[in-house]
Amino acid sequence: MSKQKPLVVVTRKLPAVVETRMRELFDARLNLDDEPMSPAALVEAVRTAEVLVPTVTDRIDARLIAQAGDQLKLIANFGNGIDNIDVASAVQRGITVTNTPGVLTDDTADMTIALILAVARRISEGARVIPDTDWAGWSPTWMLGRRITGKRLGIVGMGRIGQAVARRALAFGLSIHYHNRRRVDPAIEEKLDATYWDSLDQMLARMDIVSVNCPHTPATYHLLSARRLKLMKPDAILVNTARGEIVDETALARMLEAGELAGAGLDVFESEPAINPRLLKLARQHRIVVLPHMGSATHEGRAEMGEKVIVNIKTFMDGHKPPNRVLPSML
């Protein structure tokens, strides 16, 4: 007699290649409409599923986990960041949590560099000139941006993504600086020609460009607070491809409006998909560049994420520890 396939509930539409594979291996309940599950639907999912596959748009908090049925044994997150999941509550209920680390490193680093260039060289603003206006032609003083070669880049969070950003930034002639909760290996510092700053405050005050690449945890909520943002130079640029909650958006908007920062490139937001109206106004004025959380949006990356989810589920259901298990102590 063949072993019964586990009931796997997937909260969002995934790439076709991933959904096909899930149907082959599991009793997969897919979200074909690609609309976020309602709170009631999420409750029903945790009450019936053996495995839940959420994404960053799903809040798997303590209240939801408390309503889970005893059959729910695995939350296999489709994503690297797990700030959408109350891992401690899950573990207390005997539920294993996994994520998909590593596969989005290059994609997110690429987008970080793209945002740096877009802000410094006014690329998104310039891209609308020919389609939307009657372009009068080249002018020596028009659409002037900022050169990035020779500038100081301060990376907040020197993990996989931060290091990938540094590797790319070196090719543009940027000077690499970083702040991290732990200093990285000296060999990595040497390879990246990176300068470590124990004081985030001191680093922020010296940088021309600041890139946020750390995870969102209780310790990093509003890490770039109003006080810290005010330490930045008025001609500096801030780029955030990590999580919106790490930056105090209200303070950021206020400084940009006052001309106390040169610009910002944002791929993530505190209350997404809702956007701070002041940031939206700045974007419409071409004073900042905003993207709809697309740092990891590549065909290759999303397929690899799905494969990691499948491996985590299959390994767990076969009675082994999944390769990408997340523990509260890791946060």
Interval 261-276 mean pLDDT: 97
What is the DSSP pairing of strand 27-29 with strand 51-53? unpaired
Residues 88, 47 share a domain: yes
Residues 110, 97 share a domain: no
Residues 97, 113 share a domain: no
Is 2 a domain residue?
Answer: no
Residues 210, 80 share a domain: no
pLDDT tens-place string over residues 76-89 = 999 998 899 999 99
Is a pLDDT exceeding 50 seen at residue 67? yes
Amino acid occupying residue 106: D
The domain in which residue 90 lies consists of 7-103+299-330
Residue 82 is part of a domain; what is its CATH number? 3.40.50.720
Is 222 a domain residue?
Answer: yes
Residue 262's CB: how many other CB atoms inside 10 A?
20
Residues 191, 74 share a domain: no
**What percentage of the chain has pLDDT greater than the value 90?**
95
What does pTM read for this prediction? 0.92
Residues 196, 82 share a domain: no
| Total domains in the fold of the chain | 2
Torsion of CA 35, 37, 41, 42, to 10 degrees: 160
**Contact predicate 28/51, CB 8 Å:** no
**272 assigned to active site:** yes
pLDDT tens-place string over residues 4-46 = 999 999 999 999 999 999 999 999 999 998 889 999 999 999 9
Is 238 a domain residue?
Answer: yes
d(CA 287, CA 140): 21
**243 assigned to active site:** yes
Is 273 a domain residue?
Answer: yes
**216 assigned to active site:** no
Residues 112, 97 share a domain: no
Q: Which of 21, 228, 243, 302 is catalytic?
A: 243
Is a pLDDT exceeding 70 seen at residue 120? yes
Q: Which of 19, 44, 272, 307 is catalytic?
A: 272
Residues 275, 242 share a domain: yes
**Contact predicate 169/146, CB 8 Å:** no
| Confidence at residue 330, expressed as pLDDT on a 0 to 100 scale | 65
Residues 144, 72 share a domain: no
Q: Which of 216, 228, 293, 302 is catalytic?
A: 293
Residues 261, 113 share a domain: yes
pLDDT interval class at 1 (50, 70, 90): very low
Residues 88, 154 share a domain: no
